[in-house]
Amino acid sequence: KGLIPGIVAPDEFTRRTGEPALPLVWQWNHNPDNKLWSVARRPGFLRLTTGRADADILAARNTLTQRTIGPECAGTTALDTSALKDGDCAGLVLLQKKYGWVGVKAEGGKKRIVMVSAESDRPLEIQSVPLDRKGVFLRADCDFRNKADTARFFFSSDGKTWTPIGQPLKMSYTLPHFMGYRYGLFAYATK
């Protein structure tokens, strides 16, 4: 809910001349392919381009992450889905081995808002809602109070009225990736 300079920052990607492309609070999940992302091609926006097929989000390169912070936090983003191709997935993830994400899948010429959970150690699509417009807002709320360690996922057409999707994710603190959970902005192709 509150920003802490140097630890968390807003996802406004408008950059002034001389500023780095990304503030230090942003980190890539893997070494990035710098040809496949930009904050300059469409000023004010992070553009992620797919460059290979990946089985799931853990394998996807160029997921841009930022830490979660307690006792509560919310990550919100707007997603332009107009360039998604069949097999593409894009959205907002809470990244760790037992991850959860809300985003858009393009399949069979149609787009769906989905919530995917890997709480059971393998990704399961928990809920799907048809998407009939090119843009959608996505949100993931984290509650760390009293060891609740629970995340909930939402979508919106206007960024003001939110609809829950899927099921709560019980965040599990293991160390196969990094300590804690990180918000991530992602786009990857499954074919």
pLDDT digits (tens, 9 = 90+) for 50-84: 999 999 999 998 999 999 998 999 999 999 999 99
Alpha helices in 61-116 (DSSP H): none
Phi and psi angles of residue 77, each rounded to the nearest 5 degrees, phi first: -145, 155
Distance CA 101, CA 79 (A): 13
Q: Which residue has the tokens 């230090």?
A: 24
* Model confidence, pTM: 0.91
Count other C-beta atoms under 10 Å from residue 140's C-beta: 26
pLDDT digits (tens, 9 = 90+) for 102-131: 999 999 999 999 999 999 988 999 999 999
Are 143 and 72 in contact by the 8 Å Cβ rule? The answer is: yes
> What's the sign of the alpha-carbon dihedral 70, 118, 32, 131?
negative
Residue of 35, 28, 34, 25 whose CA lies nearest to 60: 28
Q: How confident is the model at residue 176 (pLDDT cuts 50, 70, 90)?
A: low
Distance CA 101, CA 57 (A): 9
Residue of 94, 76, 71 whose CA lies nearest to 143: 71
